[in-house]
Amino acid sequence: MNTALQPAIHVRGIEKSFKDLHVLRGVDFDVASGSILALLGSNGAGKTTLVRILSTLLKADAGTATVHGFDVAEKPGDVRESISLTGQFAAVDEVLTGRENLVLVAKLRHLTQPGAIADDLLARFSLTEAGGRRAGTYSGGMRRRLDIAMSLIGDPPIIFLDEPTTGLDPQSRIEVWQTVRALADGGTTVLLTTQYLDEAEQLADRIAILHQGTIIQNGTLAELKQLLPAAQVEYVEKQPTLEEVFLALVGAPTGTESS
């Protein structure tokens, strides 16, 4: 079992090939309990492959990985009970309402009081008002939040989020970030993959860069920034970023319903 001293996720020498394509060539990293690791990498770097190995959906060719103290190859059942996986594409049933989606998952997990669990999660994800509406009518951000809410049923100590904000507008992205941050503050360990550098900057305690099959850098944002020399200070007015302008015009999310 997991102890406070052990990392929540421990990965050593993981390799994976698809025929001649040697995608993972010896991946090593740890994720401390209750922290957020952002795994960065270009398209095809192997992020989803790694997440699938750690969530027991795929077997590695070599190396070891433990999740919540359980070896992914030896104890896949125990690993699955310790994690949730939100995939790159939302797994929401569009015909059901948001609340029905949550109740369904709670029932599948044999939890008592599925209705109360659903109502609690709807409130936590600012979806109470939308809860009675078919999920097919939700915006991308609402659907993503519902998807993450569904993955939290049963309170898994470790969650994997594969590109949680791809395709979302800036407001929805910030809402998802707030959600993920709140989870980590509550002690959940989060491994997320992303292609957005600002997402990693905003959210991650540590950032690991997967490139050509290995982790080429792993550190805090401050540590990674020290890899480059500081820019010469020039006395020019700082222009706002497009994101700052966009959010100033449309209003930053307040944690209330968005549609």
Q: Which listed range, 38-46, 79-87, 118-126, 247-255, lies at the site for ligand ATP (CB under 6 A)?
A: 38-46
Residue whose entry in the numeric block shows the structure tokens 């898994």: 156
Six-digit token string for 17: 């090939």
CB of 204 to ligand ATP, least distance (A): 17
CB of 129 to Mg ion, least distance (A): 33
Task: Considering only residues 161 through 220, tell me which ones interact with Mg ion, judged by CB under 5 A.
Answer: none
* Cβ atoms 176, 189 nearer than 8 A: no
Residue closer to ligand ATP by CB (options 16, 68) is: 16
DSSP state of 57: S
What gap in Å lies between CA 51 and CA 111, rounded to an integer?
26
CB of 43 to ligand ATP, least distance (A): 4
Residue closer to ligand ATP by CB (options 21, 62) is: 21
CB of 48 to ligand ATP, least distance (A): 3
CB of 167 to ligand ATP, least distance (A): 12
* Cβ atoms 248, 234 nearer than 8 A: no
* Cβ atoms 23, 49 nearer than 8 A: yes
CB of 9 to ligand ATP, least distance (A): 17
Site string for ligand ATP, 43-72 (x = CB under 6 A): xxxxxxx-----------------------
Contacted entry of Mg ion, ligand ATP, none for residue 41, CB cut-off 5 to 8 Å set by kind: ligand ATP
Contacted entry of ligand ATP, Mg ion, none for residue 46, CB cut-off 5 to 8 Å set by kind: ligand ATP
Q: Does 194 bind ligand ATP (CB under 6 A)?
A: no
Q: Does 101 bind Mg ion (CB under 5 A)?
A: no
Six-digit token string for 200: 């990693």
Backbone angles phi, psi at 81, to 5 degrees: -75, -15
Q: Which listed range, 5-13, 41-49, 119-127, 145-153, lies at the site for Mg ion (CB under 5 A)?
A: 41-49
The crossing angle, in degrees rounded to 10, of helices 170-185 and 140-151 is 20
Residue closer to ligand ATP by CB (options 34, 41) is: 41
Q: Does 48 bind Mg ion (CB under 5 A)?
A: yes
Query: Which residues touch 124 (CB under 8 Å, ≥6 apart)?
Result: 149, 182
- How far is CA 137 from each of CA 227, 258, 259, rounded to the nearest angstrom? 46, 12, 9
**SS percent in the chain: helix, strand, coil, step 5:** 35, 25, 40
Contacted entry of Mg ion, ligand ATP, none for residue 189, CB cut-off 5 to 8 Å set by kind: none
What gap in Å lies between CA 221 and CA 228, rounded to an integer?
12
CB of 236 to ligand ATP, least distance (A): 35
What gap in Å lies between CA 148 and CA 119, rounded to an integer?
15
Q: Which residues bind ligand ATP (CB under 6 A)?
A: 18, 21, 23, 41, 43-49, 88, 195
